[in-house]
Amino acid sequence: MSAAILGSAIQATRLAQKRSQEELAGLAALSPNTVMGLEQGRGTVASFVSVLRAMKSRLAYHNNPLTLGQHIALQRKKRRLSLDLVAERANLTRPTVTKIEKSEGQVASLAAVLRVLGQPLKIVPAEIAPLTPPETPAEPPSPIHLAVLGDCCNVMPSLKAGSIDLVFTSPPYNAGKSYEPTRTPEEYSDFARDWTACLPDLLTPTGSVWLNIGYMKVHGQSISLAYIYFPIMKALGFKLVQEIIWHYNAGTTYHRRFAHRTERLMWWVKNMKRYTFNGDDVRDPLDIKKFDKRNSPLGTLPDDVWEFPRLPWNSPERFHPCQTPEPIIERIIKACSHPGETVLDPFGGGGSTPAVAEKLRRGHISIELDPHYFEVMQTRCPSLRVRGSD
């Protein structure tokens, strides 16, 4: 239906300019059959763009400096819609929507995406100023601002099933810190199995689990906790989207091995075909000196090595010995959740996750076993509703 409306708009514009299909085809360097197909809602986006250019016209909401695909990507981002959600609402596949955002694919798919974005299938002369789409109302913040004092293994079973959209946490590294017990590798594996056991039931179908993990010392060896968590998460049915390397400059030095300057961020989902990823929300600004018209106008998508400095030990913003920098948490929350959704941190520490989640209008639930850091968390997030592990 939408494709037919778009085809009718092409035909009406052509007739208003008193051109025949053959004449328009010549101006657009297309065949008359192609123009006829476009007016019936069939054909490619590339042909549609050629016809618009030949008629010196554009879609009503399209800002000319952007390609049609760039315009659509920008409008989707403004509405905080993921590629998956647009695909679902338009009854298309994610790759099809991706093609549309590259000014490729079929006109019927283009019309369906425009309908989902709330843009009328109207063609206007190019010299008319573009219409300004109505602002999408901001989603209300989630009412969930909860901190629980207790062991996450006891607290998580009490949370509502399917209520968590994103888990971000940095579980204990078993590195001999004063706030964590020292465990053998076997004991740590049992601990990891215990606390992750509730995650499949708590997570929504499109949710993600992010684990910020470091290294454990075993008989002089430095073992990445990724080796422990990978088989455990896999056994729970999770799929590893990818592993991110967090690189920093300052860190511990050694005499008989290279210095550690990295930690791992493991990104897990339930379904590899359906999970939240708002890549446009975390793009880095384009480098004007290296501008390439093939680049997205929204910026560059970060790669899988993230450069974020660790907080100095004497920083007034450091509330926990193993504090994850807020920019890392912010990037993950923006990319893998939407405003109004709920973020869970089973090892709340000094409260960085709820602090960032609240700033980004997400709900949050944080669990912390240590009473001292539980108090620190409340200081950082005054809006927290607190309770014990009853």
18: left (phi over 0), alpha (psi -120 to 50) or beta: left
Average pLDDT, the chain: 85
Q: Which residues pair with 368 in a beta bridge?
A: 149
Task: Give the sheet arrangement for strand 203-213, strand by strand.
Answer: 305-307, 239-247, 262-269, 203-213, 164-169, 342-345, 363-368, 145-149, 385-388
pLDDT digits (tens, 9 = 90+) for 84-122: 888 888 889 989 999 988 889 998 898 888 888 887 778
The distance from CA 171 to its chain's CA centroid, rounded to whole angstroms, is: 22
Nearest to 351 by CA among 68, 148, 72: 148
Q: Give me the percent of the chain exceeding a pLDDT of 70.
A: 86
**Count of C-beta atoms within a 10 Å radius of residue 288:** 6
What are the distances in angstroms from CA 274 to CA 7, 81, 195, 245, 268?
A: 32, 14, 25, 24, 12
Length of the chain, please? 390
What are the distances in angstroms from CA 197 to CA 191, 201, 268, 360?
A: 10, 9, 14, 28
Full-model pTM: 0.65
Contact 58, 52 (CB under 8 A): yes
> What does the alpha-carbon distance between residue 74 and residue 66 come to, in Å, rounded to a whole number?
9
pLDDT at 383 over 50: yes
Which has more confidence, 323 or 290? 323
pLDDT at 76 over 90: no
**DSSP E strand stretches across the chain:** 57-59, 123-125, 145-149, 164-169, 203-213, 215-218, 221-224, 239-247, 262-269, 305-307, 342-345, 363-368, 385-388
Sorted by where each begins, the domain ranges of the chain are 2-125, 145-388
The CATH code that applies to domain 145-388 is: 3.40.50.150
Please identify which residue in the block is written with the tokens 């215990």. Answer: 194
Burial of residue 236 (CB within 10 Å: 0-12, 13-18, 19+) is middle
pLDDT at 288 over 70: no
Q: Which residues pair with 5 in a beta bridge?
A: none
Contact 69, 2 (CB under 8 A): no
Contact 10, 34 (CB under 8 A): no
> What does the alpha-carbon distance between residue 158 and residue 156 come to, in Å, rounded to a whole number?
5
pLDDT at 381 over 70: yes
Which has more confidence, 134 or 337? 337
Burial of residue 42 (CB within 10 Å: 0-12, 13-18, 19+) is middle
Structure confidence at residue 304 (pLDDT): 94
Class in CATH terms, 2-125: mainly alpha
Structure confidence at residue 59 (pLDDT): 83
Contact 124, 57 (CB under 8 A): yes
pLDDT digits (tens, 9 = 90+) for 10-68: 888 889 989 999 999 898 899 999 999 988 888 998 998 898 888 888 887 776 567 88
pLDDT digits (tens, 9 = 90+) for 269-287: 999 999 999 988 898 876 5
pLDDT at 216 over 50: yes
pLDDT digits (tens, 9 = 90+) for 166-201: 999 999 988 666 667 788 889 999 999 999 999 999
> What does the alpha-carbon distance between residue 156 and residue 141 come to, in Å, rounded to a whole number?
22
**Count of C-beta atoms within a 10 Å radius of residue 262:** 15
Structure confidence at residue 65 (pLDDT): 61
